[in-house]
Amino acid sequence: MTAVGKILVFFNLLFSLAVGAFAVLDYSARTRWAEGYKELERRVQVAEASNAVNKVELDRMVKERQKQNEDFSKLAGAAAEIKGPEDVEKAIAKVLKALADALDTVKNQKADITRLSTEVVDARKLATQKESAAVAAHKEAERRQNSEELVRKALKEETDKNYVLVNEKNVLRDRAVGAEIQVKTLTGINERLEAQVQDMARDLARIKSGIGAGVAGRTGTNNPPPENVEGLIKRADMNSRLVTLTLGSDAGLARGHTMEVFRLSPVPKYLGQVRVVEVSATQAVAEVVGRPAAPLQVGDKVASRIIGGN
């Protein structure tokens, strides 16, 4: 793996860890908010139950007040029935006792009302605080959820970018491998061509030194075109010793011009010489001079000069 690939893998790991951390924090926050909301609901239920109890208590006190009013009415009726001093004293004593009892009951009821009112106020304050906390927790949850969405979106964008970079890296790597293969192939071809040229040069040196019967019999017969031209044998008939060349007068050939014949594959080899007997604009007919080193074939090369030729 290249350095770019390692860096991309490292960034992917960092983003994965960051997303995992955000997920853990979000889960913890959601758990705490859910527990707080449940606690708030429980306290609200307790406050509602307390309010219901207080209502029952208030109803009871109202009923007691009604009963006291009835008692006062009875006392008033009893006072109306008084006929003598003894009855007056008894009635007064009875009324005073009833008044004292009523005052005690009123005091107790006032104390209960004050206590219940305080509890109601406290319950309402607590409910308001819990409701505010629940609203704030809900807003915080939405904010964290939005933050998490942004992080996921950013991570997806970075992952897509990394995917594109990895694909581009793979494409560049494939191109580099292809270029390397082409370089190696061209290098091999170049080495083979250099070896063929060296072999041809050695063959030519041997030919110039008099090696080869066909060359020895042609001394003084060279008549190459003035321009250095090259072509191929298009057709060959060794029975008539005539060959057709892919060159003509457009390339500077004329009757009597001589061309050297050689073959490059499978083994570079000098074959002999041909002399032009007929020529047209794009091709020429030539006859084989002397005895060639091997029968001429279609595809053999012809040239006015070989390396080092005069």
202 CB neighbour count, 10 Å cutoff: 11
In this model, does residue 220 exceed pLDDT 50? no
Q: Is residue 268 within 8 Å of residue 200, measured between CB atoms?
A: yes
Q: Is residue 238 within 8 Å of residue 261, measured between CB atoms?
A: no
Q: Is residue 58 within 8 Å of residue 116, measured between CB atoms?
A: yes
Q: Is residue 233 within 8 Å of residue 303, measured between CB atoms?
A: no
In this model, does residue 259 exceed pLDDT 70? yes
Q: Is residue 274 within 8 Å of residue 236, measured between CB atoms?
A: no
Say how many CA atoms lie within 13 Å of 25 toward its Cβ.
13
Q: Is residue 255 within 8 Å of residue 275, measured between CB atoms?
A: no
DSSP 3-state assignment of 259? strand
Q: What one-letter code names the amino acid at 33?
A: W
Give the DSSP H or E segment for 10: helix 3-80
> What's the rounded Cα separation, in Å, for the pair 11 and 8?
5
Q: What is the pLDDT of residue 284?
A: 95
In this model, does residue 82 exceed pLDDT 70? no
Cis peptide before 226 (omega within 30 of 0): no
Q: What one-letter code names the amino acid at 38?
A: K
Mean pLDDT for the stretch of residues 160-177? 83
DSSP 134: H
Higher pLDDT, 3 or 39: 39
Say how many CA atoms lie within 13 Å of 81 toward its Cβ.
8
> What's the rounded Cα separation, in Å, for the pair 28 and 17?
17
| Range with top average pLDDT, 49-53, 104-108, 158-162 | 158-162
Q: pTM above 0.75?
A: no
Q: Is residue 234 within 8 Å of residue 282, measured between CB atoms?
A: no
**Whole-Å CA distances, 264 to 49, 145, 213, 236, 270:** 111, 77, 21, 17, 9
Q: What is the pLDDT of residue 52?
A: 83
Q: Helix and strand tally (H, E) in the chain?
A: 3, 6
Structure tokens at 198: 């060296």
| % of the chain exceeding 70 in pLDDT | 78
Q: What is the pLDDT of residue 255?
A: 94
Mean pLDDT for the stretch of residues 238-246? 92
Block residue for tokens 């139950």? 49
Instruction: Categorize the per-residue pLDDT at 192 as very low, low, confident or very high, splitting at 50, 70 and 90.
Output: low
Higher pLDDT, 141 or 78: 141
Higher pLDDT, 280 or 8: 280
> What's the rounded Cα separation, in Å, for the pair 265 and 301?
11
Q: What is the pLDDT of residue 200?
A: 67
Tell me the fold of 221-303.
Thrombin, subunit H (2.40.10)
